[in-house]
Amino acid sequence: MARADGRLNHNLLDEDPLPQDECGVFGVWAPGEEVAKLTFYGLFALQHRGQESAGIATSDGEHIHVYKDVGLVSQVFDEATLNALRGHISIGHCRYSTTGGNQWSNAQPTLGATPHGTVALGHNGNLTNSADLYDQVVSRHGATKFGELAQGNTTDTALVTALLKDQPGDSMEEQALALLPTLKGAFCLVFMDENTLYAARDAQGVRPLVLGRLNNGWVVASEQSALATVGASIIREIEPGELIAIDAAGVRSHQFADPAPARCVFEYVYLARPDANINGRSVYESRVEMGRQLAREDSNDADIVIPVPESGTPAAVGYAEASGLPFAQGFIKNAYVGRTFIQPSQTLRQLGIRLKLNVQDHVVRGKKVVVVDDSIVRGNTQRAIVRMLREAGASEIHVKISSPPIKWPCFYGIDFATRAELIANGATMEEITHAVGADSLAYISEEGMIAATGQPRSTLCTACFSGQYPIELPPEERRGKMLLEQPALPGMPHRRAQTGCEPGPDTEFELDDTEVPLTQEQELEPAERSMYEPTLSGRASGD
């Protein structure tokens, strides 16, 4: 069971659960280095991409060992655990699950046996053809649960791991090249066998993945911040549709699909760390430019500009610069709020966002305030923020949003609310303004947002704003985060849950007031399942 750390929950408004479904992946090949500790620090830098569970796998050339658990990276691992994870290759994963998916059996990396060794695999993204992939598993192995699926894993990652075993080829590299073209949707995979580190990115490059260099090794990671943390220099992004393999012979590259870039624009808006660089463009500078563009498109007679920390800060800097209004810190954020499994009381739930943010009354009292945030999903967070500013004495409150209205669900790795729950779907600007209680409300235009990224429109996925999906979607009855967990449907027997992993806007301001169910495995002491066998050992020869 994850250890509580005494810190407040990231989610502070129970009526406004936010998008979740993204992960951080990390891999290192570095003989002579403490690769588990490098991976730990790499995952620490990627913690913003997944805060539900974490895991690390290592190989010493003969055996693969895995340790994973529910909780933050710093909760899951300690010095003794990391010292036990020996080897020269390591991969790591931090995960954010969808509803019902936060359980130990879904933590990654997953393990499985292949004819050419054991594979440990971590996945960032969401596959759109999971129903088809599960059909393949059933057709090859029958209704009997297979691999990690037999241990209760309900992720599309477990499907990929299971299918890798059955691919043609004289090596795992060849098996991966056979399987990867059959995967549809968004995926960044970091995986390993006993001797080789692999990384692959979907043909659209929806999620970021970068390659870095150590003095005596190589690193792959979701974002370059993780490279900087472990002292690696960035080499390049892994290209859309590319598989790389790293071993004693060096780095090999294979193009398994023709690139058709459709990078997620929401990475620039919110998901990536501000110090990330995606396709040659600084995420921080993109967000500052979004604020500048927002000021050009809509400005008010106001006294100060304040951000909703932390995600609204770069755009607020840009808005203040372009508007000529002074920038101020109207909110102070509690620096020690993080993920925990201690439930707040009803009294604390009623306090809501005040547990996370405090208004500086003397900054906003009597002022006309422009408050900048990155996005609005259901609107409850913005309503609470406006109410706090009113109570602190602000005379006018003008809300500025550095992304367009979110009107459509994401099927590529962000678990937004259902379309019916999105406040911008079906409501007019006047109605949204009234709902959040502001004096005025303005969103950046889609054109302004895209221009701020410095990327051609044709190379970006804007589906959550535009409804235009660059990767073909399956029929409605064969998609959805919980599709494989539902009772059997006609022609779709034995379905299990598909869960993803990416936190969306304002995740830290939302309240999850449900208990984490304990499985039998979770009740065990960590040492009893850290190097679990036989199915998940480096010697697994058949599932």
The single-letter DSSP state of residue 451 is H
> Cα(342)–Cα(513) distance, rounded to whole angstroms?
9
Query: Does 410 belong to an annotated binding site?
Result: yes
- Phi and psi at residue 50, in whole multiples of 5°? -175, 125
Q: Is 464 annotated as a binding residue?
A: yes
CA distances from 448 to 212, 297, 321, 441 (A): 32, 9, 16, 16
- Verify whether residue 23 is a known catalytic residue: yes
CB 49 within 8 A of CB 221: no
Structural contact between residues 185 and 412, judged by C-beta atoms closer than 8 angstroms = yes
User: Three-class SS string for 149-182?
Assistant: HHHCCCCHHHHHHHHHCCCCCCCHHHHHHHHHHH
Q: What angle is formed at CA 20 by the lines to CA 238 and CA 155, rounded to 5 degrees?
A: 70
- The dihedral over CA atoms of 17, 420, 467, 186, expressed in degrees to the nearest 10, equals 40
Closest by CA to 25, choosing from 147, 160, 131, is 160
**Amino acid in the structure at residue 406:** I
Cβ burial, residue 283 (10 Å; 0-12/13-18/19+) = buried
SS3 content of the chain, % helix, strand, coil (to 5): 30, 20, 45
Tokens found for residue 30: 């570095």
Q: Does 275 count as an annotated binding residue?
A: no
461 is in an annotated binding site: yes
Alpha helices by DSSP H, listed for 338-379, are: 346-351, 361-364
- C-alpha pair distances (Å), 308 with each of 177, 330, 375: 45, 8, 10
Catalytic hit among 23, 94, 188, 501? 23
Q: How many CA atoms lie less than 13 Å away from 497 in the CB half-sphere? A: 16
| CB-neighbour burial class of residue 215 (10 A; exposed 0-12, middle 13-18, buried 19+) | exposed
Does the annotation list 264 as a binding residue? Answer: yes
State the Cα–Cα distance between residues 421 and 438, nearest whole angstrom. Answer: 20
Distances (CA, A) of 534 to 51, 67, 451: 28, 14, 53
d(Cα 212, Cα 235) in Å, to the nearest integer?
Answer: 5
**For the chain, how long is the longest CA-to-CA vector?**
73
Binding residues, as ranges, are 264, 311, 373-374, 410, 461, 464
In the annotated binding site for Mg(2+), the residues are 311, 373-374
* Catalytic machinery residues: 23
Which residues contribute to the annotated binding site for [4Fe-4S] cluster? 264, 410, 461, 464
